[in-house]
Amino acid sequence: MDQTRIARAALSRLFEPLDPMGTLLVEAFGPEQALRIACGGAGSDEVAEISAVLDPAGDTRKRSQAVAPLGTLPAALERWRPRVAQLAPERDLETIARFGGRLVTPEDDEWPPGLEDLGAESPLCLWVRGEEPLPTTGQSAAVVGSRDATGYGLSVSGDIARGLVDVGVTVVSGGAYGIDGQAHRAALTSSGPSVPTVAVLAGGVDRYYPSGHEDLLREVARRGHLVSELPPGASPSKHRFLKRNRLIAAMSAVTVVVEARWRSGALSTARRAVELGRHVAAVPGSVYSANSAGCHRLLRDGATCVTEAKEVFELIAPAGEGLAEEPATPARPHDGLSLVDLMVLEALPVRRGSEVEQLAVVAGLSEAEVRSGLGRLSLLGLAERTEGGWRRVRGAA
């Protein structure tokens, strides 16, 4: 078996997501050597040399946007030590294979290119359930929002997700209650691409969380993908959910927030999308709804306002394609009239005729302007001359 793959599988259990020293170790020495060092295979002298290579100036500040400071290698070794005895990467790989899944690494062709934009925060690997290759970033859209979604939010998220899959876009979300679950559910009802939806989990892909979504997540695994940077059996926890959000943003060309409270995990996904240079869109709601306060906050900060799937697709479609059409509205007789002609039209009576002099008084225009306007309105079939003077043609209101 590929030793690099085994090493990445082991490191995904040894390191917590976004472990800055672990990431730096892999970047500097590669997965296999990083595993040896992290498991205590380096002597004190080598540890000192490695520390000098990783941090020659003794700088313990953040190296990236990682959630924890860099710290020191000896401190990291102590942090990792309790997990070393639990490492069994071959067993984890056998477990994921029993579930019909696989380990995807940066060395594989199907590695989502969008994850490279995370730089030092890119995951070491992805544990994946699903038969098809992972979808490309350019044809994926994240649909996220509140767990305690309203009926309005559930309806809109379902329409958007289904509409996106209909035009060949894979829907990415987090598998949670509320907007996330509705997005996955609606995506599965479409007859779109072979991978209609991807659920990025905060625990192992063999654990259905939340438990109330077990049937839904099983169906996502069968027809789409379950994805996690954590190995089989890993339990979800609050900090892992927050770290997971960066993957949802990075794997999608656009992040759509349907409903979100003022402080919502969905907003962290949107913020990461902004940092990655991705499109961010939000669905407006009632100004009285707390569930839309976060969306309105995003709109004030420059997010694109969207109300349907076509408007979302317009953001990621190739130039000149997928443009949302303006909604058809019935034409009115006075559409396109100049201001003068409109003033003359409004001054015209409907029943009795009126002479030019009186029309000039009512419209507040000169008699010459009224005559010119009447001529144009007559050609358009909006005004007519009668025995009693000029009047508006019926139906030209």
Sequence length of the chain is 397
Residue 1's SS3 state is coil
H or E element that contains 339: helix 339-347
Average pLDDT on 336-350 reads 89
Cβ–Cβ under 8 Å, residues 253 and 113: no
Structure tokens at 187: 């995506």
H or E element that contains 281: strand 279-282
What is the structure's pLDDT at 388?
85
Q: Which residue has the higher pLDDT, 308 or 68?
A: 308
Q: Is the pLDDT of residue 329 over 70?
A: no
Q: Is the pLDDT of residue 352 over 90?
A: no
What is the structure's pLDDT at 62?
42
What is the structure's pLDDT at 31?
96
**pLDDT interval class at 241 (50, 70, 90):** very high
Q: Which residue has the higher pLDDT, 346 or 305?
A: 305
The distance from CA 372 to its chain's CA centroid, rounded to whole angstroms, is 55
Structure tokens at 373: 């306007």
For the chain, the structural domain boundaries read 3-86, 126-316, 339-392
What is the structure's pLDDT at 324?
61
Percent of the chain with pLDDT over 90: 71
Q: Is the pLDDT of residue 59 over 60?
A: no
Q: CA 325 → CA 308, 309, 310, 313, 316, distances in Å? A: 12, 12, 8, 12, 16
Alpha carbon distance 172, 184 (integer Å): 8
What is the structure's pLDDT at 63?
45
Cβ–Cβ under 8 Å, residues 308 and 160: yes
Q: Which residue has the higher pLDDT, 397 or 197?
A: 197
Domain 339-392 has CATH 1.10.10.10: yes
Q: Pick from 167, 224, 226: which is nearest to 202 by CA? A: 226
What is the structure's pLDDT at 70?
56
Alpha carbon distance 319, 125 (integer Å): 33
What is the structure's pLDDT at 61?
43
Prior bond to 210 cis, omega within 30? yes
Q: List pLDDT tens digits, range 46-57.
A: 888 888 877 655
Average pLDDT on 226-255 reads 95
The model carries a pTM of 0.82
Alpha carbon distance 273, 252 (integer Å): 8
Residue with tokens 């696989």: 102
Residue 252: CA count within 13 A, CB half-sphere: 36
Residues near 246 by beta carbon (within 8 Å), at least 6 away in sequence: 118, 121, 269, 272
Domain 126-316 has CATH 3.40.50.450: yes
Range list of H helices, 167-224: 179-188, 214-223
Q: Is the pLDDT of residue 355 over 70?
A: yes
What is the structure's pLDDT at 270?
97
Alpha carbon distance 261, 37 (integer Å): 44
Structure tokens at 40: 């205590």
What is the structure's pLDDT at 48?
87
Task: Kindly report the average pLDDT of the chain as a whole number.
Answer: 90
Q: Is the pLDDT of residue 64 over 80?
A: no
Residue by residue, DSSP assigns 17-67 as TT-HHHHHHHHHHHHHHHHHHHTT-S-HHHHHHHHHHH-TT---S-SSS-S
Percent of the chain with pLDDT over 70: 91
Q: What is the distance in angstroms between the CA of the first residue and the CA of the last residue of the chain?
A: 80
Cβ–Cβ under 8 Å, residues 200 and 93: no
DSSP one-letter code for 231: P
For the four alpha carbons of 378, 381, 382 and 386, in that order, the dihedral sign comes to positive
Alpha carbon distance 299, 361 (integer Å): 47
Q: Is the pLDDT of residue 328 over 70?
A: no
Cβ–Cβ under 8 Å, residues 258 and 291: no
Q: Is the pLDDT of residue 102 over 80?
A: yes
Structure tokens at 81: 């030590």
Average pLDDT on 344-360 reads 89
Q: List pLDDT tens digits, range 275-293.
A: 999 999 999 999 999 999 9
